[in-house]
Amino acid sequence: MKFEEKNRMSRRGLARFFKGLSELVEKDELEVGAGRIRLGDSVDVEVEYKEKKGRAKFEIEVKWQLSGGDETMDGSGEKERVNDRTGESISEVKQEMKKSFNALRKTVEACSLPSTVDVGELVEINKAFVVLARDEEVYTRDLEEFTSLVAKFKDAVESGNLDESQNLIGEMRAAKKRCHKTYRWKE
């Protein structure tokens, strides 16, 4: 099932909408479009705020595992393989990796070292990606190279070596491009 609705409302109307939504979530009675949604007992919530060209955007994304296991539906209605460890699909992990890598790249290109926490996040996302890609032999060599570069990058950041971190970001970017040239996930 897929449903999208757009409405314009006042700030007060938005507050009433959130209050009503909150009450429905507590009762597990969420209805969207023509269907009823049952939430999981545990949900992942992502909050994002952006300002661009004089406009602001605030998004709240709620995700949960559907009952019945290791498959979920993507936006097109097709089933995706899900990582048993985190419940994330390969496309979700890929997007997380892209965001994490780009944030680190921008920091290093601005001649600053990223935090070790941010680098650790890329390491963990890369591990999840490796698990999902383990059955793709053609992908293994390129992914092993990228994983090795991620480990070296982590070491360079932890030792405070900005020059080496900048070089490794460039190598990681090139490895990522080679990997995409060799194989792209069918999404």
Task: Give the model confidence (pLDDT) of 64-109 as tens digits.
Answer: 777 644 433 333 333 333 333 345 677 778 888 889 999 999 999 9
Full domain range(s) for residue 49:
11-64
Q: Is the pLDDT of residue 48 over 80?
A: yes
Q: Is the pTM of this model over 0.85?
A: no
**Which one has a higher pLDDT value, 87 or 39?**
39
Q: Is residue 59 part of a domain?
A: yes
Q: How far apart are CA 79 and CA 67, in angstroms?
A: 14
Same structural domain for residues 98 and 60? no
Strand partners, 79: 73
Same structural domain for residues 154 and 103? yes
Same structural domain for residues 48 and 100? no
Q: Do 113 and 162 meet the contact criterion of CB atoms below 8 Å apart?
A: yes
Q: Is the pLDDT of residue 176 over 70?
A: yes
